[in-house]
Amino acid sequence: MIKITVNRSLGGQIPSEVLRHNSELGVLSYDPQEPLLRSVVVYLDELIFVVPPNHPLAAAHQVSIRQLGAESFVAHNVASPYREKVIRAFQQYKTPLHMDIALPTLEAIKRLWPWATA
């Protein structure tokens, strides 16, 4: 009989869990750049910003980073490569990034969503 157990962990901890043989494999949204591990891309994802349907940017076909600099964001507060990419992009274009609310889980962000946009 084969038993499979799926554990959820912070992405930053997964490479060390695999290296210590506490996990057989890990699934990450980034390449950990760890020479003792091998990574294989199994799925490519996009990073997107979402707005409610009545938001002024909802009908736009294209939005500049300058336009985003005038907005407030509900963000994920856990360090991740995606979060760092967003922060670096705003810094690169010298655009303010207003992450007025940062929460520890995507589920918490979804639950807050109706109130955050009111």
Domain identity same for 3 and 37: yes
pLDDT digits (tens, 9 = 90+) for 57-89: 999 989 999 999 999 888 888 777 788 889 999
pLDDT digits (tens, 9 = 90+) for 19-29: 999 999 999 88
Domain identity same for 34 and 5: yes
Residue 49 lies in a domain: no
Residue 58 lies in a domain: no
Number of domains in the chain: 2
Q: Residue 104: which domain range?
A: 65-116
Domain identity same for 77 and 38: no
- Per the prediction, the chain carries an average pLDDT of 87
Measured CA angle at 103 (ends 99, 104), to 5 deg: 135
Residue 112 lies in a domain: yes
pLDDT cut 90: percent of the chain above it: 41
Domain identity same for 112 and 74: yes
Domain identity same for 35 and 73: no
Residue 2 lies in a domain: yes
Domain identity same for 71 and 107: yes
Of 11-25, 43-57, 94-108, give the range with the top mean pLDDT: 11-25
Residue 51 lies in a domain: no
Domain identity same for 72 and 105: yes
* Chain CA centroid to CA 61, Å: 23
Stated as kind and residue range, the H or E segment containing 15 is: helix 14-19
**Cα–Cα distance, 112 to 9 (Å, whole number):** 23
